[in-house]
Amino acid sequence: MIKDPTRKDQTCSEAHASSDTESPDLTRREWLLRLGGTAVLTGLQGSPVAGASGPDAVKTNQLPPGLYYPSEDHMTHALESDGRFRPTPTGSETDFLSPPGGSFAPQFFSLSDFKIVERLVALVLGESESSGEMEATTQEIAQWIDREVYNAAAVRKAALNLSPQHRTLAVAFYGEDAVTAFETHDPQKIWKQGLDWIASESNRRWSKPFVDTSPASQSDILKSLNERAESDNAGTRLFALLKNQVGHGFYTSQRGLKELDYKGNAFYAECPGCNVPVHPK
């Protein structure tokens, strides 16, 4: 039972009596919904101050700018569920993002470089045959990489401008090494230098631009980079970043989520239990 923090003498029987005046048949879920999100989240948003009473009994904890309390809308959505499994309502704040419509224009890469990015993505995915689904996934990942690289400078600038309080919080959560790497990581530089390396290597080997060489020749360049992964040059740095971005992009793409049999953006109203009939000893 949630008590009014301004009344120390409130009893459970009084709380029940006040709810019964509205409806004798309220379920616990309905009771919580009637109270409203603010009352339910009081314990998360504030803590009692010793010796205080009345309106000052609960003080809101001040979080650094940019940190927020739990979503009341999300909590209400969960409490309103009457079924065992309920998907997120369309248009809610936890709904899936819709892919951008219209023709795509790269923001960071030139059109010629973006064609190379698409081809590199397809090679890392190991796609040997052309299909509509493969091409759509390749384009989806390549477009995501373009947006991520385009925004990288602004993200790094924001990281470097964190207040001491925010940075301390980030270090406590991620660790000093991870935060430092985030502040110094420069995907734009890696991609620019890496694409120059690929162009130079393709011209040295076959006297052709990378996109004009055969798929086998293109694969040979990536294989050579994989074999020299421990060395540090523009090509190996790009290959390491490319593998990371393609893996991230694929398993957050529609095709990748299907492969994982992803059941997110929904919740269980009750424990689903275990589907394994007999557990091995």
The 10s digit of each residue's pLDDT in 209-258 is: 999 999 999 999 999 998 887 888 999 999 999 999 999 999 888 788 88
Backbone angles phi, psi at 85, to 5 degrees: -140, 125
- pLDDT attached to residue 261: 80
Q: What is the mean pLDDT of the chain?
A: 74
Q: How far is CA 199 from the centre of its chain?
A: 33
- Residues 67 and 60 sit within 8 Å (Cβ to Cβ): no
Predicted TM-score (pTM) of the model is 0.62
Spatial CA neighbour of 126 closest among 231, 16, 246 = 246
CA distances from 275 to 79, 265, 279 (A): 26, 21, 10
- Interval 124-149 mean pLDDT: 82
Per-residue pLDDT at 264 exceeds 80: no
- Residues 269 and 85 sit within 8 Å (Cβ to Cβ): yes
Comparing 125 with 31, the larger pLDDT belongs to 125
- Residues 102 and 73 sit within 8 Å (Cβ to Cβ): no
Q: Which of 3-17, 38-52, 192-206, 263-277 has the highest mean pLDDT?
A: 192-206
DSSP string spanning 44-57? HHEEEPTT--GGGG
Query: What is the rounded distance in angstroms from the CA atom of residue 106 to the CA atom of residue 116?
Result: 12
Q: How confident is the model at residue 280 (pLDDT cuts 50, 70, 90)?
A: low
Q: What is the residue extent of each domain of the chain?
A: 1-96+266-281, 111-259
Joined together, the tokens standing for residue 192 give 């620019």
Q: Which of 66-75, 98-107, 164-173, 197-206 has the highest mean pLDDT?
A: 197-206
With 0-12 CB in 10 A as exposed, 13-18 as middle and 19+ as buried, what is 154?
Answer: exposed
pLDDT tens string 5-35: 334 344 343 444 444 444 445 555 555 444 4
Spatial CA neighbour of 5 closest among 57, 43, 40, 51 = 57
Sort residue 207 into left (φ over 0), alpha (ψ -120 to 50) or beta: left
